[in-house]
Amino acid sequence: MFRAGSHHGVVLATPLLVCFLILAQPGARGQEARDSGAHPDSALAEMIAQLDGAPLSLADAVAEALARATDVGSAEARLAAARATVRREKGTFDPEIFADALHGSHDQPTASFFSGADVLQTDETQATAGARVTLPVGTELSASLNTVKLETNSEYATLSPQYNTLGKLEIVQPLLKGFGPSTRGELTAAERELEAAEAQYQDAVFAVWADVEATYWELFANERDFAVQQLIRDRAIAFLKDTELRAKAGLVGPNEVANARVFLAEQEQVVLDREESLDRISDRLATLVGRRPGGGQWRFRSTDQPPHDFPTAPQDLLVQLALQRNYELRSAEHRVEALRARVKSASWDALPTLDLFGMLGGYGLAGKGRDIIFQFDPEAEPDTLRNDLDTGVGKSISQAINRDFPTWQVGLRFILPLGNRAAGGERDRLRAEVLLAQQQMIATQRALEERVRAQHRELTRGRRRLEDG
């Protein structure tokens, strides 16, 4: 016999009482079996069916979570930003059209007889139009037409208005700094970062999916634990009633009744603990799904059954496949590649500037001629220089395009920054960033392998648990 006031007695009595509940008298067990459908599984199924909660299937839980998950939404926003960055960097190589116009008027006093006026008045209008583009190898191409219209009051101006046009094709080819990888470095890095964002988005989707599924089956297990605990509590109630009846008949003493009451109190507390755990899991699932249970319920209820038959692969094969296909690892690798592209660009930018440039063009001249009168002797007849030219601006443009009056130039430009601390420092900083990203990628690989092996063991043992159950 154990005393009700003895702590050690209660502790030792508890497992014995559980055994007694399982191995109760045939009469009591038979009655409970008849009440619960003659099989423990039917009693458990009936208890589970009576649980409160809004029914939720695994497919609905996953679909709603993917539609509302903040992690997926954040990854989708990062993906959109990465796509926009690639578009921006590609825009660096888009051709552009440019044009500008300028008009001015000048009154300039003169002291020279050949100025043609005491105050030289000129009205000048300039117009420039063209197109330019930067190629991925760093080549800068520009084609333009520049036309100047000049009107003056000078008596010695043979054309007024006068149209001067210069058409030119310019090229600048960087040979060191700014060449190839330097020009395209940010675009290449942005493309790798886009691939990283795509992998990160897929990783977020699968992570939410896995988290929802794991939480769903945890809810499923907690529902069964709660139902089992309720069955134990109900049997503890029946055991207490049976013990009280036996005590009235003088078959057992008060200590047995006290032990039965302690056992019932303990099982009531465990029922509350199980219910709190069930509510907590349901709340976690509600957070993942993004909504609370409906229909006036305060928790969800699972409606699906876990799979009992699923294929398993060798642990090493799963590790190898995970290292090849895991999106988190792919994202880390693409980030390393993006940094390497920036390092390559910065390495070229750390070189001196050596540019080859050239220009090929032509001039054009047109306008409306006017006579010029020279009279050096007031008593002599003036000399008149006739000018019958009368063409518009189109003539000067045609001459410039056809290179009737050609012009060209070619040259080299060299710049050597003393110390080169800015470009060299940026290159070294990016090299350190690559080393950091590589270490993070290696850590991701190791953590992934550890998770795969642990989950493989858990899956294998879980299958055995289902088979044993």
Cβ neighbours for 233, distance < 8 A, ≥ 6 positions apart: 264, 267, 268, 270, 271
Query: Encoding tokens for residue 122?
Result: 């000129």
Average pLDDT over residues 143-163: 89
For 139-195, give the DSSP string: -EEEEEEEEEEEEE--TT-SEEEEEEEEEEEEEEEESSTTSTHHHHHHHHHHHHHHH
Can you list the pairs that 22-28 forms with residues at least 24 positions away whose Cβ atoms lie under 8 Å?
Answer: 24/239, 24/242, 25/242, 28/238, 28/242
Predicted pLDDT of residue 36: 41
The β-bridge relationship of strands 300-302 and 54-56 is: parallel
* Amino acid identity for residue 439 in this structure: Q
Q: Does the structure show a pLDDT above 60 at 219?
A: yes
Q: Does the structure show a pLDDT above 70 at 305?
A: yes
Q: Does the structure show a pLDDT above 70 at 40?
A: no
Closest CA to 136 of 87, 85, 97, 186: 186
Tokens 């003056």: give the residue.
Answer: 152
Predicted pLDDT of residue 379: 67
- Top-confidence residue, 156 or 396: 396
Q: Does the structure show a pLDDT above 50 at 24?
A: no
For 20-36, give the DSSP string: HHHT--HHHHHHHHHHT
Q: Distance between CA atoms of 369 and 451, rounded to whole angstroms?
A: 89
E strand or H helix at 65: helix 58-68
* DSSP bridge partners of 406: 362
Cα angle for residues 41, 228, 56 (degrees, 5° grid): 85
Q: pTM of this prediction? A: 0.76
Mean pLDDT, rounded, of the chain: 86
Cβ neighbours for 350, distance < 8 A, ≥ 6 positions apart: 177, 420, 423, 424, 426, 427
Predicted pLDDT of residue 98: 96
Closest CA to 216 of 55, 422, 102: 55
Kindly report the number of other CB atoms within 10 A of residue 468's CB atom: 6
Give the whole-number percent of the chain exceeding pLDDT 90. Answer: 67
Q: Does the structure show a pLDDT above 60 at 29?
A: no
Predicted pLDDT of residue 259: 93
pLDDT digits (tens, 9 = 90+) for 257-294: 999 999 999 999 999 999 999 999 999 999 999 999 98
Q: Does the structure show a pLDDT above 70 at 5?
A: no
Average pLDDT over residues 239-254: 90
The β-bridge relationship of strands 353-369 and 140-152 is: unpaired
Tokens 């795969």: give the residue.
Answer: 452
Closest CA to 368 of 152, 108, 166: 152
Closest CA to 47 of 378, 283, 271: 271
Chain-centre distance of CA 340, in angstroms? Answer: 19
- Provide the pLDDT confidence category of residue 49 given band limits of 50, 70 and 90: confident
Domain ranges of the chain: 1-93+202-306, 94-186+353-418, 309-351+419-469
Predicted pLDDT of residue 467: 60
Predicted pLDDT of residue 388: 74
- Provide the pLDDT confidence category of residue 468 given band limits of 50, 70 and 90: low
State residue 49 phi and psi, 5-degree precision. Answer: -65, -25
Burial of residue 331, with CB atoms counted within 10 A of its CB: 0-12 exposed, 13-18 middle, 19 or more buried: buried
Q: 1 near 255, Cβ under 8 Å? A: yes
Largest Cα–Cα distance in the chain? 164
pLDDT digits (tens, 9 = 90+) for 79-132: 999 999 999 999 999 999 999 999 999 988 887 766 777 888 899 999 999 999
pLDDT digits (tens, 9 = 90+) for 426-467: 999 999 999 999 999 999 999 999 999 998 888 777 766 656
Predicted pLDDT of residue 30: 39
- Top-confidence residue, 186 or 11: 186
Q: 441 near 337, Cβ under 8 Å? A: no
pLDDT digits (tens, 9 = 90+) for 344-382: 999 999 999 999 999 999 999 998 887 776 666 666 666
For 256-267, give the DSSP string: HHHHHHHHHHHH
